[in-house]
Amino acid sequence: MEIRRTRYLMLGVIFKVRGLLMVPPLAYALLHFDGRYEESVGWWGVGLVLFFCGAYLRVAAQRHLRYRLKSRKQLATTGPFRLVRNPVYWANMSILAGLAFMAEIPWMAPVLVIWAFLVYDLSIRFEEMRLMKRFGAEYAQYMAETPRWIPRLSGRIAGSSQRGTRWWPAIAVELHCMLLIVFPIAKEVFEHRLGGWRF
C-alpha cells in the first residue's frame, strides 16, 4: 500500500510540473543557433503546419474537455476523445515539433517529441488513477474501449454523440498556445537584423 501511495505521489509531482519539464529542451531549440538550416523556408512551412495542426487539435479537444471553461465538468469521451484518450498531449507534441522546425533546428523536433512523450506518459499514469477514483466504472469502460496513445481509426469508437461547446470559448482559452509562435519569429528577426549568435 505504501509503495502504491509513493508511486501515486511521485507521478503526481511529474503531472504538476509537466509544463515546466518542457522548458529546457524547448529553450535550447529556440535559443540555439545551428546555422546548418538557416534560410530554409521549407522548415518554416513544415513547422507552421505542425504548429497549427496542434493548435487546432487543442481547441477541438477543449470543446469536449471543457477544462478552464465555465461549464459542468464530465468525463470527455466525445470529439477527439472518441479516437484516443489523450489528444491534448498529441496536440502539444505537434506544437513542440513545429516550434523546433520554425527555430530552424529540425533535428531537435524528434528530441522534443520523445522527451514530451516520456513526460506525458508518466503524467497520464497519474491522471488515469485520478480519473478512475472520480468516474469509476464509466472511466474503466472508456479505458477498455479507447486507446491511450495510438488513435483508433476504425471499428467501434467510444463516446456518445454529444456535441462539444462552441468554438469561440474554446479558442479563447487556448490562445496562450498561439503566443509560443512569437519565440521562433523573434529568433528569426534577431538572427537576421542583429547578426545572430552562436553557442
HEC profile of 2-68: HHHHHHHHHHHHHHHCCCHHHHHHHHHHHHCCCCCCCCCHHHHHHHHHHHHHHHHHHHHHHHHHCCC
Report the predicted TM-score, pTM, of the whole model to 2 decimal places.
0.86
The Cα 68–Cα 86 span in angstroms is: 17
Task: Select from 96, 97, 103, 95 the least CA-distant residue to 37.
Answer: 103
pLDDT in tens, 104-128: 889 999 999 999 999 999 999 999 9
The count of structural domains within the chain is 1
Range of the domain at 124: 2-193
The answer to the question of residue 169 being in a domain is: yes
Domain of residue 9, CATH code: 1.20.120.1630
pLDDT in tens, 174-185: 888 888 998 888
The Cα 96–Cα 23 span in angstroms is: 10
pLDDT in tens, 142-164: 999 999 999 877 644 544 455 66
